[in-house]
Amino acid sequence: MRLLTTALLFSGLVLAADGPLYVFDNGAGRGALTVEQQVELTKKTGYAGIFYSGTRQIPELVALHKAAGLKVVGIYTGMNLSDAKPGYDPGLPAAIEQLRGTGALVTFTINGKTPDKQVATGDEVAVKVVREVADMAAKAGLKMALYPHYGMHVARIEDALRVIEKANRPNLGLVFNLCHWLRSGDEANLDARLKQALPHTFMVSINGAEHDGDWDRLIQTLDRGAYDTKAFVAKVRKLGYQGPIALQCYNVKGDLEENLRRSMAAWRAF
């Protein structure tokens, strides 16, 4: 019995080491819990760390993760082309420096439109900012990842790849967001899109989902939805992706801890 128990424990440790799952802070209590409570909940429910929104409280976030044996997988920020002077969050340079040595990703959305509403002009403005942020990240030993977000200037994988090519920075890649990719209506082209995207993919986000619909259908706990997220993860891994995977939880209803436990149980079943 002791040998069997030891084997099971060892097996669990191997699983945790080989297949860590991170969680977006929108599922860990952002806005409802302190950073300390978010890290505690993340650790308690078996996740490897938090994908964090914004540039504030970074030293506290890093220290709490380190103390808990977790990793800050990345921060989420961006720019808006509709601003009078489009640029990055004023707190971003300090946040990047505070993340030095953590390996955290600097993820970046590009929203809005330039006055002429032309894609090429928007790209031109965005690329200047993206290069500046990517260079700051590089000096701190970090990578930057564009975050395609439905409805934004960079909304699809193809948009991110276009800007990556124009920006031409070796530490610049993208996040492959399952829910935003499904929302774009591109499900039939998965194989082609992965072939294009994976060489540039620094993080993958997953969740339970239906095949189409609004966010309440496209973002669910990992044990729900008709879309085969398990097969998606298997395909991504088979194609050689070994980077971080994080759980998207935007606007998922219900108890935070119960939702996290349900998704973690599904992940371990993968």
Encoded tokens for 209? 């989902």
Q: Is 68 helix (H, G, I), strand (E, B) or coil?
A: helix
Nearest alpha-carbon partner for 46 in 262, 228, 219, 211: 262
Distance of CA 216 to the CA centre of its chain: 19
In whole angstroms, give the CA distance from residue 250 to residue 157.
Answer: 20
Are 244 and 267 in contact by the 8 Å Cβ rule? The answer is no
Q: At residue 176, what are phi and psi to the nearest 5 degrees?
A: -90, 105
Please state, as a whole number, how many other Cβ atoms lie within 10 Å of the Cβ of residue 188: 8
- Residue 14 has a pLDDT of 35
In whole angstroms, give the CA distance from residue 246 to residue 51.
Answer: 7
pLDDT along the chain (270 residues), means of 10: 36 50 98 98 98 98 98 98 97 98 98 97 98 98 98 98 98 98 97 97 98 97 98 97 97 97 96
- Residue 213 has a pLDDT of 96
- Residue 19 has a pLDDT of 87
Contacts of 236 (CB under 8 A, 6+ apart): 176, 194, 198, 204
DSSP secondary structure letter of residue 48: S
CA atoms within 13 A on the CB side of 55: 16
CB burial string 140-167: b at 16+ within 10 A, e below: bebbbbbbbbbebbbbbbebbbbbbeeb
Nearest alpha-carbon partner for 245 in 212, 202, 210, 197: 202
Report pTM: 0.92
Task: Tell me the per-residue pLDDT of 58-80, one tens digit each, with 9 for 90 and over.
Answer: 999 999 999 999 999 999 999 99
- Residue 18 has a pLDDT of 53
Beta bridge partners of 144: 106, 172
> What is the third-level CATH fold of 36-269?
TIM Barrel (3.20.20)
Are 198 and 175 in contact by the 8 Å Cβ rule? The answer is no
Q: Which helix (H) or strand (E) holds 21?
A: none
Residues in the chain: 270
In whole angstroms, give the CA distance from residue 240 to residue 21.
Answer: 17
Nearest alpha-carbon partner for 45 in 249, 258, 266, 269: 258
Nearest alpha-carbon partner for 203 in 124, 104, 92: 104
Q: Is 131 helix (H, G, I), strand (E, B) or coil?
A: helix
DSSP secondary structure letter of residue 82: T
